[in-house]
Amino acid sequence: MREIKADIRLGDCVEVLRSFADNTFDLIVTSPPYADSRSKTYGGIKPDDYVAWFLPRSSEFLRVLKPTGTFILNIKEKAANGERHTYVLDLILSLRKQGWLWTEEFIWHKKNCYPGKWPNRFRDAWERCLQFNKSKKFKMLQDAVRVPMGEWAQTRLKSLGKNDVIRFNSQAGSGFGKNIANWLNRDLAYPTNVIHLATETGNKNHSATFPKSLPEWFIKLFTQEDDWVLDPFLGSGTTCEVAQEMGRNSVGIDIMAEYYHMSKSKIKEVDRFLLEESASYGKHNRKRNSHVHRKKH
Ligand SMILES: C[S@@+](CC[C@H](N)C(=O)[O-])C[C@H]1O[C@@H](n2cnc3c(N)ncnc32)[C@H](O)[C@@H]1O
């Protein structure tokens, strides 16, 4: 019987990862401490020191990621002294020098972010999810994240014009051909690189959890069942929890004992066949993952 492994470790990821072999992981998806944030609990790295702090860690990520793997980095620079700090931009440039390809940038649009206004800007409603790869040929399962055609299909496709049904270059002169008619009679379309998700997490015990739907989206897009997922800044355990529910093996690391124990208590290895039973039950009951059977230890 195959087990889904969820290996939760306590420590600094740069040290913990040294015991892992090269090319182990299919996906690294993580949200590191943001510069200057949460200095009372963890993190608190000065924006000017952020790149130097991050690079030894990303060097380990580069080593343990498979050549076909993907690294998703959820991060957002704050505004300070009336300006956005440039440490995320500096980090992107430094990661490229380290050997990463900066393949894509997804925008996580926080659908339900709280209202607010500052004298010279509006509220923050999005975060970056930067995609890095080791090679141009990486695993990507685009069909796994297709979305319902929705209203666009109802309105735009019903009023197809002459230009729509033949392949033509856009009038803006971008040279990008399109053929909207190809999408007629289809229920599903590929999403854009803007991911619209609510922020609520249901987890009140960690100050910066991301919603389960965020790692879930990237796990669907970049991995298959039995693949290996890493979150080197695990926090409350969200990535490993989701990976497990989706039949992926995972490793999660956190430097804080409190978060390590929190994750450990909610994540246990599960038997694959029980997971499959649970998933097929879920299909009929719309309660997927609600009763994954845990292995007793
Ligand atoms: C933004 S939080 C991650 C939240 C997580 N995505 C979740 O859903 O709960 C960042 C986490 O990184 C941890 N951390 C900070 N420095 C670390 C390091 N050097 N190695 C491992 N974990 C670290 C912090 O303790 C914190 O829990």
* DSSP letters spanning 44-55: ---GGGHHHHHH
Q: Are residues 95 and 67 in the same domain?
A: yes
> Is position 294 within any domain?
no
Number of domains in the chain: 2
| CA–CA dist 287, 281 (Å, integer) | 8
Residue 267: pLDDT over 60: yes
> Is position 260 within any domain?
yes
**Where does ligand 1 bind, in terms of residues with CB under 6 Å?**
12-13, 31-33, 42-43, 206, 208-210, 232-233, 235-236, 238, 253-256, 259
Q: Are residues 141 and 155 in the same domain?
A: no
Q: What's the confidence (pLDDT) of residue 137?
A: 96
Q: Are residues 93 and 71 in the same domain?
A: yes
**Ligand 1 center from residue 281 Cα (angstroms):** 34
Q: Are residues 100 and 205 in the same domain?
A: yes
Q: Are residues 67 and 171 in the same domain?
A: no
> Is position 297 within any domain?
no
Which atom of ligand 1 sits closest to the CA of residue 43? 15
- The pTM for the full model equals 0.85
Q: Minimum mean pLDDT among 70-74, 124-128, 279-283: which range?
A: 279-283
CB 297 within 8 A of CB 31: no
The label of the residue with tokens 């995320």 reads: 88
Q: Which string of b and e fits 21-38 if b means at least 16 CB within 10 Å?
A: eeebbbbbbbbbbbbbbe
**pLDDT interval class at 117 (50, 70, 90):** confident
- For every residue of 227-264, DSSP letters joined together read -EEEESS-TTTHHHHHHHHTT-EEEEEES-HHHHHHHH
Which atom of ligand 1 sits closest to the CA of residue 237? 9
**pLDDT interval class at 279 (50, 70, 90):** low
Look at 180 and 12; give whichever has higher pLDDT.
12
36-67 residue pLDDT tens: 755 555 557 889 999 999 999 999 999 999 99
Q: Are residues 45 and 153 in the same domain?
A: no
Q: Are residues 185 and 222 in the same domain?
A: no
Residue 287: pLDDT over 50: no
Which atom of ligand 1 sits closest to the CA of residue 203? 9
The residue nearest atom 13 of ligand 1, judged by CA position, is 233
Q: Are residues 58 and 114 in the same domain?
A: yes
The label of the residue with tokens 């790149």 reads: 51
- State the amino acid at position 30 in one-letter form: T
The residue nearest atom 27 of ligand 1, judged by CA position, is 235
Q: Which domain holds residue 198?
A: 3-146+192-285
Q: Is 124 helix (H, G, I), strand (E, B) or coil?
A: coil
61-99 residue pLDDT tens: 999 999 999 999 999 988 878 888 999 999 999 999 999
Q: Are residues 165 and 185 in the same domain?
A: yes
Token pair in block for residue 165: 């049904």
The residue nearest atom 18 of ligand 1, judged by CA position, is 12
**Ligand 1 center from residue 125 Cα (angstroms):** 22
Q: Are residues 279 and 164 in the same domain?
A: no
Residue 281: pLDDT over 80: no
- State the amino acid at position 268 in one-letter form: K
- State the amino acid at position 131 in one-letter form: Q
